Structure 1
Amino acid sequence: MLPAVAVAVAVALAVAVAVAVALPAAPALRHRLLRSALLRAAGWTRRRLELRGSEVRRSQERRLRRLLPPGTARGSDAFRERYPLGQSCPDEVLGGQVSPLRPWTLICSCWGTDPPLQGSLLYLDILRTTFPQALAPRGTALLSWAPACPRAPAGWPLPTLYCTPAEASALPSRAAALRVQLLFALRMRALRVLEAGLASELQDALLALRTGWHGLAQDLALGRVSPQPGLPEDTRGRLQALLAPDATRAAEVRAECARSFEGIVQRLWPQLEVVVVGTAYSTEQHYCDALRQADCKGLPFYCPFYQASGALLGVNLWPQEPTPRFLLCPDWAFCEFLPCPAEEEPRTVLLDELWEGREYRLVLTARPGEYRCRAGEVLRVTGFHKQCPMVELVRRESQALSVRGESIPEDQFCRSLCRAVGMWPGARLVDYVCVESTLLGASSGACAPHYEVFVELRGLRDLSEGQRYKLDQCLQEDFPIYKSFRFKGSIGPLRLHMVGAGAFARLRDALGSAIPMPRVLREERLLQLIQNTVIS
């Protein structure tokens, strides 16, 4: 039955895509044909996911066979005996240039396993069923910067979704790219979806709106792209040719921004249905929470994908839930898990051996030749969809603080910091980053090893010594080992610094690539940059 259905779907897709590709001069018809073909493929992908969810072990064994060299001993048990647990996976962001969608590519998706394509097809299917108008032509604006390694938007197989010029993502300057993309988003009042590659990109684009809305409104009124650093003149000319003067829309932007910025996204785009953040990272969850409470108030946030070390591993089938949960797809990678806390003789468990409510470290085999890599991710199992586990992101192990082997995880440090900020009247935490004193070198003085924390706040202009001590006190209350080291004097008092507005946007510009915001700085050049922005 299933092969016959696959053949029928493949033939229909081939015809629809071929016709759509041949109609570049009729964009509306091209969009409808492509959307129809892709949604048919998405329905098939969803049915296959449901089928594979009932045979997880078999699907995982099948995926492993595809990843191993020919003639290798078969089976997960033999695989684990032959290959020891490896080193950490390369820390990559899901990206890479995607090829233009062709009939043969889509047809092969009915039988093969192409996680980026299948993930995007599922994304389109979920949008169609949950947000009815989200697939309108040119109804999605993209905020994403990836100059060296282009990062595909969530709905890349259907490029007619996007009103944002693709060239804007590849500008040499992150700040310039986000401002240009924001300008093209602002001109589309009937926007349905606002999509960002990372939550920090959305945060910085909206910060550019807060600080530069006068100039953006003027550009809308005149139909121009203003010169700026990091925007080559020839590129600016090509982008400007896509704009037309729109004094009415410029007046709307001015009026809404002059009122306030709480709920500004919904007011600027009254038909907006959802805010999409392409990939979820534990270090970026703070931005999603802050945006929900302020600029994006009243709008659902949807993080469709979970990826680790450049490999797509899971998809979020529940877009309206406030905390993203990801279904680990058994066809996309071979996954193993180390229970937390670590055991003396670690033995991995497989995808169908997980327990609800427990935390696990992820061990990944996603590419031929890269076997059993430690992904550095800690996941919590929240339930099961058929036999497939649903997981939440907990933390990245590389973001733990440790100067004496005490190891304070990033998620727990964030909770302690938020608790301390809550004791400062009127203060709201915008952003933060930590440094271990070993990175400071001689500038740390002769004191004991300690943490230095840099925060950006709203509602507070200065920090008193009592307020600074609150964070150290919260850490001692939350982490007995830290308290013990502080009592012995082997860890010195935490030093807290307040930085000026926009400091973290400049820090992310200096990272040089589109990566999740690090919470612990490991490079001296980044430390010096943030030190130069301290105001208190």
Structure 2
Amino acid sequence: MDGKKLEYKGEEALKEIEKLTAKADEVQEDILKEILQRNGETEYLNKHMKGSKAVLEFKHLVPVITYKYIYPYIHRIANGEDSSLITGHPITEMLCSSGTSGGEPKLMPSIAEDLDRRTFIYNLIMPIMNQYISGLDEGKAMFLYFIKTETSTPCGLPARTVLTSYYKSKHFKCRTRDPFNDFTSPDQAILCPDSNQSMYCQLLSGLLHRHQVMRLGAVFATAFLRAISFLERKWVQLCSDIRTGQLDLSITDPGCRSSMLSSLSSPNPNLANEIEDICSSPSWNGILCRLWPRAKYIEAVVTGSMAQYIPALEYYSGGKLPLVCPMYASSECYFGVNLKPMSDPSDVSFTLMPNMAYFEFLPLGENGTLSMDTDEEEEVDNGMLVDLVNVKLGNYYELVITTFSGLNRYRIGDVLQVTGFHNQAPQFRFICRRNVVLSIDTDKTNEEDLHRSISTAKRLLEPYNALLVEYTSYADTSSMPGHYVLFWEIQMVEPGPIPIEANLLQECCITVEEELDYIYRRCRSYDKSVGPLEIRIVETRTFEALMDLLISQGGSINQYKTPRCINSNAALNLLNSHVTASFFSPRDPKWTP
């Protein structure tokens, strides 16, 4: 496919949205036919379709799968076998998903034209925003973007996150220099592999252009709040740089240093004094509007697990800046856009663009939870799947995709609810990830991984004749960075040979962390976007009291299960009122693959 067909700007982009959504069924059928035409001779599809490229054969014979099923093919390609195992195009890189398999990140195959599709989605955002806010081309965007460390597969394919891939591509570096691509951050700062130096330089750039900034944001709310926390610690140094026109000596990255020295061309004591007066205020409530007075909104993902950060964002903006979630995407595929970006975060819906991939939907229960409690690896009857245009308003579904890069009927794991339609294309509200119980940043810990990790750690109690009676958890985001909290009720089955010391519980903390997946450990040890895990010891029979509380709220004693993640304020208050001691991980977990 010619990538230029996916390049649209301004009014042309809005017309393309209407064109695609008006005939979503035809676009979807054409997409699937094209995928089968290109990939029909691959080993994977030949195995199931015996050489056929017919749509009906695909729907009847190709199974619905999870990563476990496709992983052997991806592993073979990563080790040097030909891309034709799963796709008719050369795989150019492997994208590291935040999902995990055996403690390692999932590797998602990507072909060259995938970058064209991602760029297509990015190019829709500003034409949509311009319908709601005028004059955005009269200033700059302070978007805080970062790359992550990349590796290579055994055969030399780059292995990196989808955002790192995009920021390093010509699509980003050579993007059209129109007013909407005028960022405060120089590309050299965005592409700096040292996140602290990158953060410092991007904030410094944002402060230097504070009177020109009209848009604030980051990809995830966590990254934006982390930047505010960084600013709280570093504003004195940043003001000094601006006042003297000299860059702090801690910035040693050559790209960062050269780009920032160009910006710091001369001392600016007046600007430094303005910023100092604002940042030295005893309250940072509304500080974003004081530092960047022309800002119109904050752009970041605040749906799903990120919704927990909305109160903090509203505090720092003084409740004056709308929170905008512009798009819905993952490592596997970019899905769609928010056509009503000024809606409240709780009402955000995304319209799936039917030219991105072939979309199918696995129906879930009436409240979106029925099938979420079942085994993720269970076999799915192909007849259950629903096409894009045939989903029903109000119903819950799990998203299933087929892509040009070799994912066939792949379960994304996202639970969505249909909220409406734009022409033929359905609009979805993101509910959650299947089976995820804890998430702070890009980490996603499911119940199975949490249980396995705690099972390993609780063995440390056995020599002390101590028994872990019950446990639950929650993601504490009351401070930055957020961290996992485990509530443990421990019972002494008989007097232990020696008393339980604090260092033993600290060792339990780090043991849990060492057993959690690669993404969590990277967030903890390298990105520093997740704080040390905490274990809070509660009094005897605390979990009985928790059971009583939840049953009194309408639960059934016959069907009661201890919730492995606490979402109720009342339950959390009960647990915290019975805490007798608290312990934190004494060190960072190992994270290097």
TM-score, length of structure 2 as denominator length: 0.61
Query: 335, 344, 347: which is aligned to 1:322?
Result: 344
Query: For the structure 1 residues 457 and 47, does the alpha-carbon distance in structure 2 shift closer, same or farther, using more than 3 Å as the test?
Result: closer
Matching of residues 288-327 of structure 1 within 5 Å: 288-295=310-317, 297-323=319-345, 324-327=348-351
CA deviations 1:344-402 (Å, max 9, x no partner) are 9641111011111111111111233211111111011111111111111111114137x
Displacement of 1:441: 4.7
Contact 1:280 1:305 survives alignment (8 Å): no
> Counterpart in 2 of 1:437?
454
Q: Secondary structure at the match of 2:138?
A: coil
Distance 1:480 1:202, change over 3 A: farther
1:484 aligns with 2:508: no
Aligned match for 1:50, one of 1, 5, 18: 18
Of 53, 56, 60, 1:77 maps to: 56
Q: Which residue of 1 aligns with 2:143?
A: 142
1:77-156 alignment, distance < 5 Å = 77-88=56-67, 92=97, 114-136=116-138, 139-147=140-148, 148=150, 149=160, 150=164, 152=166, 156=172
Q: Shift in Å at residue 225 of structure 1? A: 2.9
Counterpart among 174, 179, 182 of residue 195 in structure 2: 174
Q: Is residue 141–residue 215 contact of structure 2 (8 Å, CA) maintained in 1? A: yes
* 1:164/1:95 CA distance change after superposition, 3 Å: farther
1:309–1:120 distance in 2 versus 1, CA, 3 Å: closer
What RMSD, in angstroms, separates the aligned Cα atoms of the two structures? Answer: 4.4
Return the alpha-carbon distance in structure 1 between the equivalents of residues 277 and 296 of structure 2.
22
Q: Does 1:378 align with 2:399?
A: no
Aligned length: 423
CA distance in 2, matches of 1:193, 1:142: 7
Percent identical pairs in the alignment equals 22
Aligned to 1:240: 261
Q: Retained in 2: the 8 A contact 1:227–1:236? A: no
Aligned-pair distance for 1:86?
1.3
d(CA) in 1 for partners of 2:341 and 2:446?
A: 26
Aligned to 2:31: 63
* Unmatched 5+ stretches in structure 1: 1-8, 14-37, 100-104, 106-111, 402-409, 414-432, 488-492, 511-523, 527-536
The 5-angstrom pairing of residues 245-260 of structure 1 reads 245-259=267-281, 260=283
Question: Structure 1 residues 439 and 122, CA, compared in 2 at 3 Å: closer, same or farther?
Answer: farther
What amino acid does structure 1 have at the position aligned with 2:454? S
Q: Which amino acid aligns with 1:142?
A: F
* Deviation at residue 117 of structure 1 after TM alignment: 2.5
Alpha-carbon distance in structure 1 between the residues aligned to 2:314 and 2:108: 26
Mark the CA change 1:472 to 1:174 in structure 2 (over 3 Å): closer, same or farther. Answer: farther
Helix, strand or coil for the counterpart of 2:213?
A: coil
What does 1:370-409 correspond to in 2, within 5 Å? 370-400=407-437
Q: Which runs of 5+ in 2 are unaligned?
A: 41-50, 71-94, 99-106, 151-159, 365-369, 439-443, 481-535, 564-573
Instruction: State which of 177, 199, 203 in structure 1 corresponds to 2:225.
Output: 203
| Displacement of 1:202 | 0.3
Take 1:215 and 1:167, find their aligned partners in 2: how far apart are those partners?
20
Contact 1:456–1:498, Cα closer than 8 Å, also in 2: no
- Do 1:450 and 1:494's aligned partners in 2 also have CA atoms closer than 8 Å? no
> Displacement, 1:482?
10
For 1:83-110, what per-residue CA distance to the aligned partner results, in whole angstroms no more than 9, with x for missing partners? Answer: 10111388627999999xxxxx9xxxxx
Aligned to 1:20: none
* Correspondence for 2:359: 335
CA contact under 8 A between 1:164 and 1:181: conserved in structure 2?
yes
- Which range moves more in the overlay, 450-459 or 200-209? 450-459
Contact 2:400 2:409 in 1 (8 A): yes
Partner of 2:521: none
- Over 3 Å counting, the alpha-carbon distance change for 1:334 and 1:345 in structure 2 is closer
SS, match of residue 117 in structure 1: helix
**Matched residue of 1:400: which SS?**
strand
Change (3 A) 1:221 1:151: farther
> CA separation of 1:373/1:440 partners in 2, compared to 1, >3 Å: closer, same or farther?
same
Deviation at 1:296, TM superposition (A): 5.7
Check the 8 A contact 2:327/2:338 in 1, yes or no: yes
CA distance in 2, matches of 1:499, 1:387: 54
Q: Per the alignment, do residues 358 and 228 of structure 1 end up closer, same or farther by CA in structure 2, a change over 3 Å counting?
A: farther
389-398 vs 434-443, which moves further: 434-443
Following TM superposition, by how much is the alpha carbon of 1:168 offset from its aligned partner in structure 2, in angstroms?
1.1
2:320 counterpart of 1:352: no
8 Å contact kept, 1:455–1:498: no
Q: Residue 288 of structure 2 aligns to which amino acid in structure 1?
A: V
Give the equivalent residue in structure 1 for 2:185. Answer: 164
Change (3 A) 1:81 1:208: same
3-state DSSP class of the match of 1:122?
helix
Distance 1:451 1:444, change over 3 A: farther
Relative distance call for 1:289 and 1:307 in structure 2 (3 A) is: farther
Which amino acid counterpart does residue 197 of structure 1 have in structure 2? V
Distance 1:368 1:351 in 2: 20
Alignment partner of 2:355: what SS? coil
1:98 & 1:256 partners in 2: Cα distance?
A: 47
User: Do the aligned partners of 2:308 and 2:477 also contact (CA within 8 Å) in 1?
Assistant: no
| 1:265-287 residue CA offsets vs partner (Å, 9 max, x unmatched) | 1111111112112x566222222
Change (3 A) 1:292 1:434: farther
The equivalent of 2:73 in structure 1 is none
| Deviation string, structure 1 residues 401-448 (Cα, Å, up to 9, x no partner) | 7xxxxxxxx9999xxxxxxxxxxxxxxxxxxx9996225352465324
Matching residue within 476, 481, 488 for 1:455: 476
Superposed displacement of residue 130, structure 1: 2.1
Summarize deviations over 1:318-359 as a string: whole Å, max 9, x none. 111012211011111111111113399641111011111111
Find the aligned partners of 2:254 and 2:405 in 1 and give their Cα distance.
Answer: 43
Q: 1:192 aligns with which of 196, 211, 214?
A: 214
Q: Which has the higher strand share?
A: 2
Is this contact kept in 1: 2:201–2:256, CA < 8 A? Answer: no
Cα distance in 2, alignment partners of residues 158 and 268 from structure 1: 28
